[in-house]
């Protein structure tokens, strides 16, 4: 028999390779595809082992709320891709955000966050954290002087997402993490819109990255999940105990689905980014479109920053149709291929009207401050052929040629 084949050092290989091979742990059966360990617990060979494992004196699995072999493979593959030392996978993106924030904060601490934020994240920062004595200040994320001015001696965390939902603003990760570190605080980045393929916040100074794996990581609209990534010290000494004791863990079944999805993540993001760019170009020349926001276009307000910080414009396009809500609704209702749904990162192209769905809860003033107009639509480019999507949009926009809508 030949000596056992050596595993390559995946750290030095490219993302596409890491996404296929990273974190693969084979069982005694030598299966080629990752095994699904759909189990709550683990049997010990003897009482002494049970004691040692519970104490952490011996490596090995104890209970799937703490860790599980399939979930561990997902965590390891994601950590490799992100360039993080460690990770903990969660039941949803919101479980990742809530765990990451709650585990690092205590009463008396202060958080600075960007205003333009996923609705549920805004709830956590504005409504939930104050109930536990954590104050917060919201700033315009593009304005570095506002970040600086908001810092207090008690500021422990800065929190942001970039590009933002739904207007696709881009924030300067290197500059904002520098402000955090100068004040002894940390930067947590929700990297959902960029994906780990197009932006690596840890390389720009962030301390912790969170994802909703529900989006591009699953990529086919099936499972909910999330993940928290950072240094070994942060994950093992600050996040892990909170995670293990409060139970935001990911189902092994969902972790298994995500492992298979990760194998195609780089390919999908590449293709969906090309499609989003073509759609953005088509829309920006269109007679019924007032404004197109796409991070990959040279007319994006932070185009220079996008070049420095991102490896592509991403899979989302925001655009404003002339004629406000009636026009936006007429276009949405006229689409036949593009699906109306508030999700994103799916193989199917999805469109939503943020003002009445994802951002419904905000006051008219708050919507205006974020640029969420009545004519704004957010499109998540899927895996269909770009030409078919453009034809669908073109046909739907033609409804606005009717005078009663154009006159609005």
Residues contributing to the site for ligand PLP (CB under 6 A): 92-94, 97, 118, 120-121, 161, 165, 190, 192-193, 212, 214-215, 224, 226
Quote the crossing angle between the two packed helices 69-82 and 252-262, to the nearest 10°.
40
Minimal distance in Å, beta carbon 115 to ligand PLP? 14
Are 118 and 352 a contacting pair, CB within 8 Å?
A: no
Q: How far is the CB of 306 from ligand PLP (least distance, A)?
A: 17
Q: Which residue number, 327 or 376, has a Cβ lying nearer to ligand PLP?
A: 376
Q: How far is the CB of 180 from ligand PLP (least distance, A)?
A: 19
Phi-psi label, residue 81: left if phi above 0, alpha if psi -120 to 50, beta otherwise: alpha
DSSP 8-state code for residue 399: G
Minimum separation from the CB atom of position 312 to ligand PLP (A)? 17
Interacting residues of 301 by C-beta distance below 8 A, sequence separation 6+: 142, 169
Nearest-angstrom CA–CA distance, 162 and 169? 7
Q: Which is nearer to ligand PLP, 226 or 323 (CB)?
A: 226
Q: Which helix (H) or strand (E) holds 290?
A: strand 289-293
Q: Residue 11's closest CA among 102, 83, 112?
A: 83
Residue number, 64 or 99, with CB nearest to ligand PLP: 99
Q: In what order do the strands lie in the sheet with 208-212?
A: 86-90, 226-230, 208-212, 186-190, 155-161, 110-114, 135-139
Provide, rounded to whole angstroms, the least separation between the CB of residue 244 and ligand PLP.
Answer: 20
Nearest residue to ligand PLP by CB is 93
Burial (CB < 10 A; 0-12, 13-18, 19+), residue 182, is exposed
Task: State the nearest-atom distance from the C-beta of 94 to ligand PLP, in Å.
Answer: 4
Smallest separation (angstroms) from ligand PLP to the CB of 223: 9
Nearer to ligand PLP, 323 or 354 (CB): 354
* Listed residue (109, 98, 327) closest to 190, CA to CA: 98
Cβ closest to ligand PLP, residue 183 vs residue 378: 378
Q: Which of 102, 215, 123 is nearest to 163 (CA)?
A: 215
> Closest distance between ligand PLP and the C-beta of residue 326, in Å?
27
Radius of gyration of the chain (CA): 22
Q: Considering the complex, what minimum distance in angstroms separates the CB of residue 121 from ligand PLP?
A: 6
Instruction: Identify the bridge partners of residue 208 per DSSP, sorted by sequence position.
Output: 188, 230
Nearer to ligand PLP, 93 or 371 (CB): 93
Rounded Cα gap, residues 201 and 181, in angstroms: 15
Nearer to ligand PLP, 128 or 391 (CB): 128
Cα distance between residue 405 and residue 387, in whole Å: 26
CB of 406 to ligand PLP, least distance (A): 33
Q: Which is nearer to ligand PLP, 93 or 373 (CB)?
A: 93
Yes or no: say if 122 and 69 are a contact pair by the CB < 8 Å rule: no
Please check whether residue 97 is in contact with residue 210, taking contact to mean a CB–CB distance below 8 angstroms: yes
Q: Which is nearer to ligand PLP, 156 or 215 (CB)?
A: 215
How many Å apart are CA 25 and CA 362, to the nearest integer? 46
CB 248 within 8 A of CB 64: no
Given the complex with ligand PLP, which of 69 and 93 has the nearer CB atom?
93
């Amino acid at each position: 028999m030949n000596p056992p084949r050596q595993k390559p050092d995946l750290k030095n290989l490219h993302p596409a390779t890491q996404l296929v091979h990273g974190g693969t742990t084979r069982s005694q059966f030598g299966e080629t595809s990752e095994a699904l360990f759909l189990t709550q617990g683990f049997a010990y060979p003897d009482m002494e082992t049970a004691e040692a494992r519970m104490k952490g004196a011996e490596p090995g699995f104890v209970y799937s709320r703490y860790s599980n072999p399939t979930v561990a493979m997902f965590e390891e593959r994601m950590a490799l891709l992100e360039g993080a030392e460690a990770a903990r996978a969660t039941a949803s993106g919101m479980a990742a955000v809530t765990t990451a924030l709650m585990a690092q904060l205590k009463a008396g601490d202060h958080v600075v966050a960007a205003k333009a934020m996923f609705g549920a994240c805004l709830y956590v920062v504005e409504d939930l954290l104050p109930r536990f004595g954590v104050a917060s200040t919201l700033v315009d994320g593009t304005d570095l002087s506002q970040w600086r001015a908001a810092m207090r001696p008690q500021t422990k965390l800065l929190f942001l997402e970039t590009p933002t939902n739904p207007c696709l603003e881009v924030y300067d990760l290197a500059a904002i993490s520098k402000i955090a570190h100068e004040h002894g605080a940390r930067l947590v980045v929700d990297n959902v819109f960029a994906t780990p393929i197009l932006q690596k916040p840890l390389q720009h100074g962030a301390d912790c990255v969170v994802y909703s794996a529900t989006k591009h990581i699953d990529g086919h609209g099936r499972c909910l999940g999330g993940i928290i990534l950072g240094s070994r010290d942060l994950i093992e000494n600050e996040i892990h105990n909170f995670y293990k004791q409060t139970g935001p863990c990911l189902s092994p079944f969902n972790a298994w689905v995500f492992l298979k999805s990760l194998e195609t993540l780089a390919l999908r993001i590449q293709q969906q980014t090309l499609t989003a760019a073509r759609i953005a170009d088509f829309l920006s020349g269109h007679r019924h479109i007032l404004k197109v926001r796409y991070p990959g276009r040279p007319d994006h307000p932070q185009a220079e920053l996008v070049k420095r910080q991102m490896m592509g414009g991403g899979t989302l396009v925001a655009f404003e149709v002339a004629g406000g809500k009636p026009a936006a609704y007429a276009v949405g209702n006229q689409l036949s291929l593009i699906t109306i749904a508030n999700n994103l990162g799916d193989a199917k192209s999805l469109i939503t009207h943020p003002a009445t769905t994802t951002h419904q809860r905000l006051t008219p003033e708050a919507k205006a401050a974020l640029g969420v107009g009545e004519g704004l639509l957010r499109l998540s480019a899927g895996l269909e052929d770009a030409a078919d999507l453009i034809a669908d949009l073109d046909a739907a926009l033609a409804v606005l040629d009717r005078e009663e809508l154009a006159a609005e």
